[in-house]
Structure 1
Amino acid sequence: MNSMTEDVWTPDDLAYQGIRGSDIFTAEALERLPPKGKAARRRANARLEQRVRARTAELVHINAALQAELQAHKQVEHERTQLLVREQALRREQEAAVAVLRTSEQRFRRLFEANVLGIVFSDFNGQKIQANDAFLDLIGYTREDLQAGRVPWNLLTPPEYRHRDVHAEVELKANGVCTPFEKEYLCKDGRRVPVLIWVARLEDTPEQCVGFALDLSERRRLEAQLRASLQEKEMLLNEVHHRVKNNLQVVASLLDMQADTIEDLSMRTLFEDSQQRIQSIALIHETLYQPGDVVAQVNAAEYLTRLSQQLVEAYRSPGNRHTLRVQVEPVWLAIPTAVPCGLLITELITNSFKHAFLDSLVGEIHVTLRQDPPGTCVLTVGDTGVGLPDGLDTRATGSLGWQLVRLLTE
């Protein structure tokens, strides 16, 4: 008999009816119950239904709790799996970073021990930690001196360069690196060694830095040798310009002397024109000859002004008032350009004095040089004289001056 049956009938009641407790819930047993048991059966059924509902609700609650616990367990397992995956990924990244760091350290160690350039580690207090052999050789100290603390780090830099060290330290603390700069080291034997310095702060130990020192002695020696060679070539080139100018002056003087012996005016004029052409070339070499300096280009304003004035003084007759106006933009002419330019001005100014003014004692000759467009120059020589004859074909004329002008401008 179960507990539910005992709530409706006692064991004696069931025995009196001839019903076993195990049959109380069978259909046949219920039919054999007498009428007086129907009310009790309804009450028993009601209590049974109430207990079933309560038990069902309890089971539903337990099931919901189990489902929630199961879901929480699954979430924990999922998160645990994700953590394991992330941990494995992090471990792989860490192993890769360690491998990269190890490779980098090996490479830097090879650079440190290769002694291609001086390398030294220090902190911002000036305490030197480690230096390679190249750096020690640079300053003239041994590794025993370094280990025994006999290297006077604060005295290695001469006083006139210490402000550069201070500037580099400020830049290093602000940016992590400093701009490479040049200075000198005082060696153990008293020598001064020029060096190029570059310093960077270490990422893993920000209070420490690594410095690189490149010996500039060989470069300074080559620079001095190059300067000496250049100075020698400057002297030779100046001497060449000086000798060429003197030789041209001698030729011009010979032509002048020869012209004085010629009575034919037309022949004398030819000698004088040749003399002026030679003088224009000599003036270029005189301009290029500057003691202590080598000029590869000619200052157009200075050269054209001097040449024009020289021509005016040579051809101006006593009593005339011919004036010269020169307007030249600040242009530098290469020698292959300056020579034909000077010859052109010589021919054109000479032509103005010979043919433009005739018997007039008043007139102006103007010379202009301007850049138009940049990279090219426009040279203009004109006068206020009578102008060129009508119908003159400069290409067909037999004049030597016009032939030179045509050749120099083509």
Structure 2
Amino acid sequence: MMKDTFKAQEEMNNVILDSIGEAVIIIEPGGRIIRNCNAVTEDLFGYKKSELIGRETSILHVSREHYRQFGKESEAVLNRGEVYKGEFQMKRRDGGIIDTYHTISSLHRELGWEEGVVSVIRDISEQKKTERQLQSNLKERSILLGEMHHRVKNNLAIIAGLLYMQIEASVDEKVVESLKTSYCRLQSIAQVHEQLYKKAEMDANISLDSYLNQMAESVDEVIILPDKNITIDIDCGSITIPLLQAVPLGLLLSELLVNAYKHAFEGKEEGHIQIKAGSNQDQLLIEISDDGIGLPKDFSIDSSSIGMGIVQTLAKQLDADFSYSSIPGEGTTFLVSFTLND
């Protein structure tokens, strides 16, 4: 009678195990011996149930080293009375390697895991395959983007070099000034691609602080004013800006910076320019100010000058609010505010 009851209980346990949609293995921890398993385990690993029961679980591991490592990791968690969860590669009967996710817990919580554990194993091979493919695609994309930024940077450097040669060869001051302004515009674009090329990750966002410091150095090197000492302070914190907005913003600020260098400090031996940026959620506010002589009385932002026309066009491209204020003898401040793209 007792034998029949035991057999009936065993059959019921097997029915319950086989109804579970994941591979389930009951393990005797002492020698990590398989006590029981379900039909999904047979399908997953390619062994018959009779071939697994009584065998060491190492039969399902890629190597003895993997087997030892798995035991070390899982036992450390089980010793704390917790459920072990983790990913591991396992081996099928035919030698094929599969990616699996394990959930291991004690059979008898009150007695501890030494009395037996149950391991639920899910096949995640397709998921991991997809992840590896995505990683491979991302790596390829990063390489291609890096190559693209490198080529653009080099091409712009060639054009900038030609412009600079023309600057050096020109004797007409008006031509030289125009070429210098064009050179600064070109550099503001080149510096975006240089930053992106140097980045380890290709997320198409650049550091605003680093970008503006590079731009300021370029302007200071090109717009040489031997009789003036002009200093620039830049405070942008850790703000990053997307590529599609960095180029028009850089051109706009370059235009304002060059304009300040050329006109803000006429009749003065020293001058100071400050660029500050702050963000509130997704809104970016940039202020560029100087302590120069102020704007002319007849200045109009809608003037026909090429510089202001470019500034207006770039502000529209950024969908930015653009404004300014000026006090004669004390200086000028320009404000640019727009929403950062995701």
Q: Give the TM bin, normalised by the shorter chain.
A: 0.7 to 0.9
Per the alignment, do residues 338 and 203 of structure 1 end up closer, same or farther by CA in structure 2, a change over 3 Å counting?
same
CA contact (8 A) 2:180 2:222 kept: no
CA contact (8 A) 1:158 1:186 kept: no
Measured on the aligned residues, the alpha-carbon RMSD in Å equals 3.2
**Partner deviation per Cα, 1:223-246 (whole Å, 9 max, x = no partner):** 332222211111100111111111
Taking the aligned partners of 1:323 and 1:385, their CA distance within structure 2 comes to 12
Choose between structure 1 and 2: higher helix proportion: 1
Letter in 2 for 1:358: E
Per the alignment, do residues 204 and 105 of structure 1 end up closer, same or farther by CA in structure 2, a change over 3 Å counting?
farther
CA contact (8 A) 2:14 2:38 kept: no
The structural deviation recorded for 1:263 is: 4.2
The structural deviation recorded for 1:261 is: 5.0
The count of residues paired between Structure 1 and Structure 2 equals 297
TM-score (norm 1): 0.64
Q: Does 1:332 align with 2:236?
A: no
**Partner deviation per Cα, 1:37-94 (whole Å, 9 max, x = no partner):** xxxxxxxxxxxxxxxxxxxxxxxxxxxxxxxxxxxxxxxxxxxxxxxxxxxxxxxxxx
CA contact (8 A) 2:98 2:123 kept: yes
Tell me the secondary structure at the aligned position of residue 232 of structure 1. Answer: helix
Per the alignment, do residues 369 and 363 of structure 1 end up closer, same or farther by CA in structure 2, a change over 3 Å counting?
same
Taking the aligned partners of 2:305 and 2:34, their CA distance within structure 1 comes to 85
Tell me the secondary structure at the aligned position of residue 289 of structure 1. Answer: helix
Point out where structure 2 has 5 or more consecutive residues left out of the alignment: 1-11, 317-342
**Corresponding residue of 1:167:** 76
**Partner deviation per Cα, 1:188-239 (whole Å, 9 max, x = no partner):** 6777644211135558998555321123333333333222221111110011
Taking the aligned partners of 2:122 and 2:49, their CA distance within structure 1 comes to 19
Q: How does 1:369-408 map to 2 (within 5 A)?
A: 369-371=277-279, 373-395=280-302, 397-408=303-314
Taking the aligned partners of 1:328 and 1:404, their CA distance within structure 2 comes to 24
Point out where structure 1 has 5 or more consecutive residues left out of the alignment: 1-103
**Corresponding residue of 2:41:** 135
Q: How does 1:263-342 map to 2 (within 5 A)?
A: 263-290=171-198, 292-342=200-250
Taking the aligned partners of 2:48 and 2:18, their CA distance within structure 1 comes to 20
Q: Does 1:118 align with 2:26?
A: no
Per the alignment, do residues 376 and 107 of structure 1 end up closer, same or farther by CA in structure 2, a change over 3 Å counting?
farther
**Partner deviation per Cα, 1:128-155 (whole Å, 9 max, x = no partner):** 32113442454564434335x3x22367
Identity %: 26
Q: How does 1:13-28 map to 2 (within 5 A)?
A: none
The structural deviation recorded for 1:386 is: 0.6
Letter in 1 for 2:157: Q
**Corresponding residue of 2:323:** none
Q: How does 1:123-272 map to 2 (within 5 A)?
A: 123=28, 125=30, 126-136=32-42, 138-139=44-45, 141-147=47-53, 149=54, 151-153=55-57, 156=61, 158-170=67-79, 174=81, 178-185=83-90, 193-201=98-106, 209-272=117-180
Tell me the secondary structure at the aligned position of residue 294 of structure 1. Answer: coil
**Corresponding residue of 1:362:** 270
CA contact (8 A) 1:122 1:208 kept: yes
Per the alignment, do residues 255 and 127 of structure 1 end up closer, same or farther by CA in structure 2, a change over 3 Å counting?
closer
Tell me the secondary structure at the aligned position of residue 181 of structure 1. Answer: strand
Taking the aligned partners of 1:353 and 1:323, their CA distance within structure 2 comes to 10
Taking the aligned partners of 2:56 and 2:35, their CA distance within structure 1 comes to 13
Taking the aligned partners of 1:247 and 1:368, their CA distance within structure 2 comes to 31
CA contact (8 A) 1:321 1:363 kept: yes
Q: Which has the larger radius of gyration?
A: 1
Letter in 2 for 1:339: V
Letter in 1 for 2:24: I
CA contact (8 A) 1:289 1:295 kept: no
Taking the aligned partners of 1:184 and 1:205, their CA distance within structure 2 comes to 31
**Partner deviation per Cα, 1:110-129 (whole Å, 9 max, x = no partner):** 534xxx53211235554532
Taking the aligned partners of 2:234 and 2:200, their CA distance within structure 1 comes to 29
The structural deviation recorded for 1:167 is: 3.2
**Corresponding residue of 1:73:** none
Per the alignment, do residues 296 and 278 of structure 1 end up closer, same or farther by CA in structure 2, a change over 3 Å counting?
same
**Partner deviation per Cα, 1:244-287 (whole Å, 9 max, x = no partner):** 11122222233333445544322332222112101100110000
Taking the aligned partners of 1:277 and 1:238, their CA distance within structure 2 comes to 22
The structural deviation recorded for 1:303 is: 0.8
Tell me the secondary structure at the aligned position of residue 180 of structure 1. Answer: strand
The structural deviation recorded for 1:326 is: 1.3
Taking the aligned partners of 1:390 and 1:106, their CA distance within structure 2 comes to 93
Letter in 2 for 1:118: A
The structural deviation recorded for 1:324 is: 1.5
Choose between structure 1 and 2: higher strand proportion: 2
Taking the aligned partners of 2:48 and 2:253, their CA distance within structure 1 comes to 72
